[in-house]
Amino acid sequence: MASSAGDAKVNGPADRMEARLLSNSDGSRTARCLEHQNIRDGIPYHQSMNHLTPKQIVAELDKYIVGQSDAKRAVAVAIRNRWRRQQLPEGMRKDCAPKNIIMVGPTGVGKTEIARRLAGLTGAPFIKVEATKYTEVGYHGRDVESMVRDLLDVSIAMVSAEHTETVRTAADAQVEDRMLDLLLPKSSGFEDEESKEKRARTREKLREQLKVGLLEDREVEITTEEKANVAGLLGSAGMELGADFESMFERMMPSKRETHRYRVADARKVLLSQEAEKLVEKDTIIRTAIERAEQSGIIFLDEIDKICGSEKSDGPDVSRQGVQRDLLPVVEGSTVISKHGPVKTDHILFIAAGAFHTNKPTDLMPELQGRFPIRVELQDLTRDDFFRILTEPENSLIKQTISLMATEGIELDIRGEAIYAMAQVAFDTNKKTQNIGARRLHTILEKVFEEISYSAADTTEKHHTITADYVKQHLAGASGEKGRGWFL
């Protein structure tokens, strides 16, 4: 990697990136087709993904995240254990608790990215929450149990989407009939046989035009009904009601009915949602969603280091310690009441992460530490890591920059030495100032390509060669001792 970076005449990274970009596009299309095929075959997509082995999971994460092999292995084993537990006898299965993980490392090294990619990989109900937004019971703010309710909402949305796919054929037929009723309203007066036959012929002509897409721009009127969102209304005011009160207020508040004009292309989506809702069984969706959240749900608790408090008993540390005490039973295993029913947290996997700059994991309550038996330390990024981050991931920053400029007809020839120079600046700046990890690369790239990006739409020069000297020239004002903290 370093040898190719030092060759000023070789444009290997850019060429390899373009070739890999094409192959990635084909692979992505294949993956999407596989997902829809699994749903059509009656096999939920999340079940097919559960058969990934730990090595396969790590290989998938390697496509997007550079290094941090220990963290990847830990989460891969934890995900595989979810599947292993499902194969156990019923008596043993209920006693097999998940091994929660805490990831420790500076900002920008991949903690959150691992969780984000993991969510798309597993297909299980997954939410990412910030520990700092929760407060102790009795203080103004959200209590920690709301994260479980949020997880259930995600699970309901997933199951609902799957059930909608299973009734898609029947729903599409109903949508077509309703669309024809909107395009050709029924006569309010008396119709003789000749008028009925003429109307039937016109309806069939419209049906054929609708199927081939000739009516996509025609407008129709649709009445929609929207239930009052009590949780959103009170949540924006900083209030949070219990599940029973929330359900009571929803029943008390009237539904909002509105009539809107839509293009046929947009109206089809609205009608599909309405018709699919009539065909699916809500009780079945809720039961399935609760079970899936309980058995395969994952909660990523970020910034857990921010709720570490000292031993003193006054000031903001009171609330921090209180959040830890409230979090303890949720992680250990308890029953959270939601408006859809009780949710048990015994087998929900918790993955916590924090930078721990000013404290350490041992500053957490001992009881809470014991609920996270697997600890993984993520390493600081090196100069070579920055180079790999810029070039290796499927949608790396260099690929994104090349593709963005290509939309303006600009061809970028980014030499390996230029990429290496940017990696060097990122490494040096993180070392001499605050270490913000790979996030430093975003600022460096914007600074390097600022002039090209600004004039791309108006310039007649459509080819640019980016060398190490070009990078040094455009970072000269920002890479001085005074500029490091300001620009980069």
Tell me the pTM: 0.73
Q: For the chain, what are the domain ranges?
A: 1-64+381-488, 67-158+288-377, 168-279
Count the neighbouring beta carbons within 10 Å of the beta carbon of residue 156. 21
Contact 177, 203 (CB under 8 A): no
Give dist(CA 151, CA 145) in Å, integer: 10
Q: What pLDDT sits at residue 235?
A: 52
Q: What is the CATH number assigned to the segment(s) 67-158+288-377? A: 3.40.50.300
Question: What is the per-residue pLDDT for 344?
Answer: 92
What was the pLDDT predicted at 345?
A: 92
**CB 240 within 8 Å of CB 234:** yes
CATH level 3 topology of 1-64+381-488: Helicase, Ruva Protein; domain 3 (1.10.8)
Task: Give me the pLDDT at residue 231, please.
Answer: 57
Residues 420 and 390: beta-carbon distance below 8 Å: no
What was the pLDDT predicted at 12? 40
In this structure, what token pair is assigned to residue 222?
């649709």
Token match 């924090």: residue?
354
Phi, psi angles (nearest 5°) of residue 110: 120, 5
Q: pLDDT of the chain along its 488 residues, tens only?
A: 443 343 333 344 334 333 333 333 333 333 333 333 333 333 344 444 457 889 998 988 888 888 888 899 998 898 888 888 888 898 888 888 888 999 988 888 888 888 888 877 877 889 998 888 887 665 666 788 889 999 999 999 999 888 888 888 888 888 888 888 888 887 766 777 777 788 888 888 888 888 888 888 888 888 777 765 655 555 544 455 555 556 666 666 666 777 888 888 888 888 888 888 888 888 889 999 999 999 889 999 988 888 886 555 455 555 677 888 888 899 988 999 888 889 999 999 999 988 887 888 888 888 888 889 989 888 888 899 999 999 988 888 999 999 999 999 999 999 999 999 999 999 988 888 888 888 899 999 999 999 889 988 888 888 999 999 999 888 886 555 544 444 55
